[in-house]
Structure 1
Amino acid sequence: MTPPRDGRRAPPTLIERVPWWLVAAIGLAVGFAYAIAADDGYRTIFLALAAGIRTTVFVSLVAFLLAALLGLVVALAAESKWRILRELAVFYVEILRGVPVLVLLFYVAFVAAPGLVWLYNAAIRPLVDLGVAMPASVRDFDLLWRAIVALVLSYSAFLAEIFRAGIAAVPRGQVEAARALGLRRGQIFRLVVAPQALRTVLPPLGNDFVAMVKDSSLVSVLGVQDVSQLGKVYSASTFLFFETYSIVAFIYLTMTVSLSLAVRALERRLRRSEQR
């Protein structure tokens, strides 16, 4: 395309505006969907794995929402005027960021959960002796929720740094101007800091949400019946490894690409709202 003589960039053509990566992804998805619908073997595998999609979505949504809330609390503590809170926030972030998710998953499931149950039973022992309460068992702590707790602890440390960077990116002069107008601390955060920080943290939050969907497959090591676990069981019993894991990959790609498109659409909407 020849640039205009006045030096300004010409508007993109239709071919330049087409997101070809998305066209290729849609073509791949349509091909897989056709194979699932037309082939009895693929359709059987998909139906066998479909029950795990709900577990994967539940784990991803609940773990990410809780991690975002905890990460925001840690980020606010890191920006606190109290040094003890800042030190505790840095300690939390540095320790949990340094532990692999899989190791933390095993630690929460097989060390922290039994320890909490033991502490609980020790605390209520007088009530148990009186017949008022019943002791708890480690089996009462569902493996699904142990996995969610581990993901929350791991991701909250990373999200805390994202929130802290977004808060720090807000110009200090705007905060001081809000104080001069008589706004309270909570109002300043809600009306001035949070809306501007959201535009900064949205892309990395979207990336971490996609990563959470993928890392939710780690819960399969605890026997949680998600897509990965059902795929492992089905392929081991039928020896259809190629077909099974092709369907597993298709399911995860469908979820992650859809999330990425949703985040990009939200980013464009926020960008247009800024330009108005």
Structure 2
Amino acid sequence: MDELIYNFFNIDIMKEVFPLMLRGAGMTLLLCVAVIPLGLLGGLLVALATRTNYRTLRYAVIALIDLFRAVPPLVLLIFVYAGLPFAGVDISPFTAVCIAFLLNNSAYFAEIYRAGIDSIGVGQFEAARSTGLSGIQTMRYVILPQATRNVLPDVLSNTIEIVKLTSIASVVSFQELLYSADMARSVTYNASPIVMAAIAYLLMLWPVVRLLSRMEHRVGQ
């Protein structure tokens, strides 16, 4: 038991690496603030593009959605970070993560938004158009507010997954929470920093998970 506590719950080591872990947590939050809105906005635009009357554009967008949903986010991140320099485009780790997450998250959020829009009856479209609203106004003021409310639990659930996926940014040396924890582990030869990272993720995500559970229960009722 003493060995377990020393290797995984060493308070002295946790105190020593706390400043490093705090900076890593700050970078993780910064990354979330950047990639989550990008994914939400990108997903909405892609979902609307799938409803265009131009068949070529619609099929191309659907194909891209399938592509970026099928490619693992880690593979996509490495491709963006390591592949673009071969095309003469040098980007920072932060930019690479934002681009990779934008492509991946937009595809997933697009499917969520599309399902929400499809859940609204055709009569809603026709009733809104009969009042004189244009197609864009109908979508903006009538359809999207209802669709977003219908899929809000799914949006929150996917957002939680995005926060957890930010840990893959460590593979491109972006100094987020997991990267900081792994650096601290390699210096101290102790797993306590990894435990600290797990606790930090729990503290960040547990309130959102509870909120999601309550929303799902309310929607079920």
Would you say 1:191 and 2:141 are equivalent positions? yes
Residue type of the partner of 2:98?
Answer: I
Of 213, 227, 250, which aligns to 2:199?
250
Gaps of 5+ in 1: 1-34, 118-137, 272-276
- Kept after mapping to 2: 8 A contact 1:101/1:150: yes
Question: Which position in structure 2 is the counterpart of 1:99?
Answer: 71
- Kept after mapping to 2: 8 A contact 1:217/1:227: yes
Question: Which position in structure 2 is the counterpart of 1:155?
Answer: 105
Cα displacement string for residues 192-240 of structure 1 (whole angstroms, at most 9, x for unaligned residues): 1011101121111111111111100000001111110011111011111
- Whole-angstrom distance in 1 between the partners of 2:207 and 2:139: 31
Compute the displacement of 1:91 (Å).
Answer: 1.0
Q: Secondary structure at the match of 2:23?
A: helix
Question: Which position in structure 2 is the counterpart of 1:76?
Answer: 48
Compute the displacement of 1:151 (Å).
Answer: 1.1
Cα displacement string for residues 152-197 of structure 1 (whole angstroms, at most 9, x for unaligned residues): 1111111110010001101110110111111111221122101110
- Whole-angstrom distance in 2 between the partners of 1:211 and 1:152: 14
- Kept after mapping to 1: 8 A contact 2:13/2:188: no
Would you say 1:67 and 2:16 are equivalent positions? no
**Which aligned runs of 4 or more in structure 1 are off by greater than 6 angstroms?**
none
Question: Which position in structure 2 is the counterpart of 1:115?
Answer: 87
Compute the displacement of 1:113 (Å).
Answer: 4.6
Change (3 A) 1:202 1:46: same
Question: Which position in structure 1 is the counterpart of 2:14?
Answer: 42
- Kept after mapping to 2: 8 A contact 1:163/1:201: yes
Q: Map of 1:1-276 to 2, 5 A cutoff?
A: 39-115=11-87, 117=89, 138=90, 141-241=91-191, 243-263=192-212, 267=215
- Whole-angstrom distance in 1 between the partners of 2:88 and 2:117: 34
- Kept after mapping to 2: 8 A contact 1:113/1:146: no
Compute the displacement of 1:49 (Å).
Answer: 0.5
Compute the displacement of 1:249 (Å).
Answer: 0.3
TM-score, length basis structure 1: 0.71
* Number of aligned residue pairs: 211
Question: Which position in structure 2 is the counterpart of 1:31?
Answer: none
Structure number, greater radius of gyration: 1
Compute the displacement of 1:263 (Å).
Answer: 4.4
- Whole-angstrom distance in 1 between the partners of 2:155 and 2:175: 26
- Whole-angstrom distance in 2 between the partners of 1:264 and 1:187: 33
RMSD: 2.1
Q: Secondary structure at the match of 1:199?
A: helix
Gaps of 5+ in 2: 1-8
Compute the displacement of 1:112 (Å).
Answer: 2.7
Q: Secondary structure at the match of 2:71?
A: coil
